[in-house]
Amino acid sequence: MRTPVRHARTEVAIVGAGPAGLLAAHLLRLQGIESVVVEARSRSYILGRVRAGILEQPVVDLLHEVGLGERLARESMTHDGVQLAFEGELHRIDLAALTGRRVTVYGQQEIAKDLLAAHEAGGQRIVFEVSEVRLDELTDGPVVSYEHAGVRHELRCEVVVGADGSHGVSRSAVPDARPATRSHDIAWYGILAECAPASDELVYARHPEGFALHSMRTPRITRQYLQVPAGTSVSDLSDAEVWSRLRRRLESPRVRLAEGPIIERAVAPLRGLVMDRMRHGRLLLAGDAAHIVPPTGAKGLNLAVGDVVVLSRAVAALLRRGDATAFERYTEDALGRVWRAAHFSWWMTTMLHRIEGDAFEAGLQLARLREVTGSVAAATTFAENYTGLPFACGWEG
């Protein structure tokens, strides 16, 4: 029996309902552009996925500007500084004093909740739990096809936004791509725990045993990470061993960890990937579909937002004014900011993580840390990159 096929049309088809895809739909709607979002996962999965939570100042400013700042202002945690721990001491980088900017702790799933609420209020269409997604005719009259509830759908559009992450179909739809890659051969063992934070600000620790990070999601939930060898499984460390390693690497006279139930754990390899092309025909890539950076610099989600700002401006110019200039320059306009963030993430990663058997690199790491914490100029460069570089173009709503 043949699967029935339903045909539909929209201006922009967006593949992926993570923050990049949802924000793209929101910014396009503010400019009067219709879109449909299709997502392989369920709505509950998108809302329950606890991932990135550090927002740069330009991202926070944008969310307020486009009507997504009410709950953000009420429930987020703003940090004026960040702590670097090494050689048994804690050193504070005063982000606000050095740059006038801050970072904000507000989880990716919270942004997704705000965006979904805005979409539902605006009557936008999002189709969850789709399968067999295909992208065709990308150079002339794109078609996004997928299966949903036993029915095959063909969605014709003017533009496709590929925001379906590193394992989605969008990246592979760019022919002859030559992504630049870098593997760090280490991983982060991350936990989400029910306990109060031990510090009012994030603590990045360089320790002879390996890197550790103490972060938070709420005043009662902490997010903490340990450097582990690549290939480590979540079952390789018991709760007791996780807390023991965290204490050894993070604790000092000013930091005393509170333990609590571990409610989530995951292992993420540290790797880098940047696509050499973020556009193919009428397909534009955004977020993890276009680039992956190590999480050390807290850039992944922020880079996705930067992509979407450039993307929404380019799509609006094409569809509303018939001007393809920004659309055709999308790769060039987006990649400048991407490579700056990739460099900062690589720099932080190599400065803070233990490299087995490399005494020369260990000496370089300490030299860099002493410079960042001892030089106003070096601290300012760190703070400027950490709190967020300006977007490649302004938001034009």
Tell me the C-alpha distance between 10 and 24, whole Å.
Answer: 14
Query: Which of 146, 225, 295, 353 is an active site residue?
Result: 295
370 vs 22, 52, 378, CA distance in Å? 41, 28, 10
3-state SS assignment for residue 328: helix
Tokens of 308: 């979407």
Structure tokens at 101: 């900017």
Question: Is 299 in contact with 293 (CB distance < 8 Å)?
Answer: yes
At 212, give phi and psi (nearest 5°). -150, 150
Which tokens sit at 80?
């004026």
Of the listed 119, 184, 291, 299, which one is catalytic? 299
Catalytic residue check, 299: yes
- Using left for φ > 0, alpha for ψ between -120 and 50, and beta otherwise, residue 384 falls in alpha
Residue type, 134: R
Q: One of 19, 26, 58, 79 is an active-site residue; which one?
A: 79
Is 386 one of the catalytic residues? yes
Distance CA(104)–CA(78), nearest Å, equals 4
Question: Pick the catalytic residue: 204, 207, 291, 330?
Answer: 204
SS3 150: coil
Q: Which residues are catalytic?
A: 79, 204, 295, 299, 386
